[in-house]
Chains A and B, each alone.
Chain A
């Protein structure tokens, strides 16, 4: 038993990018048409477009995590044939305390 079963990593990743994407895209929408602000970025409203890209990416990760929610994503080592085999070897080699 370890962290993999406790927390599907896709939730925090998806959540972070959804929040950051909303924040930047929202700010980009508010400042749309501010030519002086975006002059440095070759006139591209980078906040809006990149924020939207991050939002889409975050939503995709949340969807993947939700879909996998019903099945466990990680198997403890003892549940795989290899895991059992190596556990056995470890016992024989006396590597375990």
Chain B
């Protein structure tokens, strides 16, 4: 029994949006003459376009659904993912790293590793990245199919295949340019679809004050201070007084430093958008322009989850934790019976927080817009993954190892074939996700291990000319092992040993899975950092001449070609950091 019914008006809204999406791909089809056009948009896009695409490319299901779920679980503290995580990392990649990515003329992040280190480091990064993109786009599709089936009663197979076909069509037609143009369109669609949700939601719970009051009750029920769900920093002194279950050091080291810098500075999915910019200055401004809207995203994606938790929880009757769970339904066992934890209260399905708000608050008309925005977010994630995959596959795997020195037309053809292949693999991954939940958890874990040490490799490569290819390669391998070791020796409260950790022994018990993740990432980073340095010192360094344009100390500072001081990256970066600091203070 679906939760909501769409009317013909809702379908008209949806149809108009998808017509424009396909129209953009069609309008760009003649522009794809060379492989550079297809994979890098011919390096010709203005910074506002690449900036919004930088933001939107990873605005997939993980962000819209996942941040809403975390908002319901951890409250406004989820904003740490933005205000000490993503934003400083985006400023760093724009100011300090983009000169090397863009200036080295590498066509992908793994290719930069090839220029800076060697072939084996590139291949390691390329293979793990390619596998990861296919897998995450598959998970995105699976989540979308399941959600549309639950909310609207749509057929799982049909929604997955139709969404995949639309993405395939516009990427095949217009390559990266088409993906980027549509990501910008999706960005506005998501903003216009979710902003009214927050507006109505806040009206329904009595504004920010009402939300604080209701969430105060719920926080007390969970054994936390009353203001734990509506403050970001207040309870961070001790793991026991904040909903995330981590203290400030673990948060700063694990999330702000390792995880955020590791993702935003080294993930080709987002860096590819900046590489498509039309000049060095535009490439450097891309992540900075993206950071401006990004800092307000907590209000767009986290607040709906918090409101869903508070909405309908009758604040005048405290202590009814089982009844007062707002709009979020309990998780169902395969038999259809709600899950209950050992305290006898329902286990909530937090992933449904935001979608439930959508179908409960929006009347027909707006409902179509909201559901389309939701689909847009799933598809932008999918398209971002597919365009990153086809580039890495064609340049870093196919051209490097399978067929060197073929014609450009051949690689353009390969790129199109890889797009079809990537989508087909994603669909396969979506079905695997449905069949084996544990395999998926396990894969996700492996990728977390692979990703965590990356930032150490890049930071040492860009800022320490002494680091060598052997050091980078074995550092990455050791970092992955370090993460696995830490994860195997610790466990989060309420987890059983296995995929969740503790498979060697349980030496330490963390208060939450998130806290465990932060420290796993930290362990991986430190291991990679130390091993890279030790092995680099023991191996032969490369000559300075070979490293020009690849290492900070051997590269002239990029000249700003911006005529006006307001367009200088450093000025933009100061504005972004100042505003972010203010947000941290306001919601301390």
Tell me if B105 and A76 are in contact (CB < 8 A). no
Classify the interface of chain B: helix, strand, loop or mixed. Answer: helix
CB <8 Å contact, B188 and A13: yes
- Pairwise interchain contact A28-B365, C-beta atoms closer than 8 A: yes
By a CB distance below 8 angstroms, the chain B residues around A20 are 13, 16-17, 369
Question: Contacts A27-B9, A74-B278, A77-B278 given: A4-B45 contact, CB under 8 Å?
Answer: yes
Contact A40 B181 (CB under 8 A): no
Bound together, the chains give a CA A57 to CA B196 distance in angstroms of 15
Tell me which of A4, A28, A42, A89 contacts B278 (CB under 8 A).
A4
> Quick one: which of B28, B185, B278 has the most chain A CB within 10 A?
B278
Q: Considering only CB atoms and an 8 Å cut-off, how many residues of chain A contact the other chain?
A: 47
The docked-state distance in angstroms from the alpha carbon of A93 to that of B258 is 33
Which residues of A lie under 8 Å from residue B510 when comparing CB positions?
Answer: none
Decide: A82 and B366 in contact? CB cutoff 8 A: no
Given contacts A42-B200, A80-B561, A82-B279, contact A17 B192 (CB under 8 A): yes
* Structural contact, B20 and A47, CB atoms closer than 8 A: no
The verdict on A73 contacting B46 (CB below 8 Å), with A1-B31, A3-B181, A13-B188 known, is yes
Contact A24 B16 (CB under 8 A): no
Q: Which residues of B contact A51 (CB under 8 A)?
A: 365
Question: Are the CB atoms of B20 and A44 closer together than 8 Å?
Answer: no
Which of the segments B35-43, B130-138, B331-339 contacts the partner chain?
A: B35-43
How far does the Cβ of A74 sit from chain B's closest Cβ, in whole Å? 5
Residues of A within 8 A of B44 (CB): 1-5, 74-77
Name the A residues within 8 Å of B363 (CB-CB). Answer: 37-38, 40-41, 46-47
B12 within 8 A of A: yes
- Across-interface contacts of A89 in B (CB, < 8 A): 105, 549
Partner of A46, one of B16, B362, B408: B362
The answer to whether A9 touches B16 (Cβ under 8 A) is no
Q: Which residue of A lies closest to B37 (CB)?
A: A2
Within 8 A of A (CB), among B1-42: 9, 12-13, 16-17, 20, 23-24, 27-28, 30-31, 33, 37, 41-42
> Are the C-beta atoms of A47 and B365 separated by less than 8 Å?
yes
B280 located at the interface, meaning its Cβ lies under 8 Å from any Cβ of chain A in the complex: yes
In angstroms, Cα B13 to Cα A37, docked, is 18
Task: State the A residues within 8 Å of B (CB).
Answer: 1-7, 9, 12-13, 15-17, 19-20, 23-24, 27-28, 37-38, 40-42, 44, 46-47, 50-51, 53-54, 57, 73-77, 80-83, 86, 89-90, 93, 95, 97
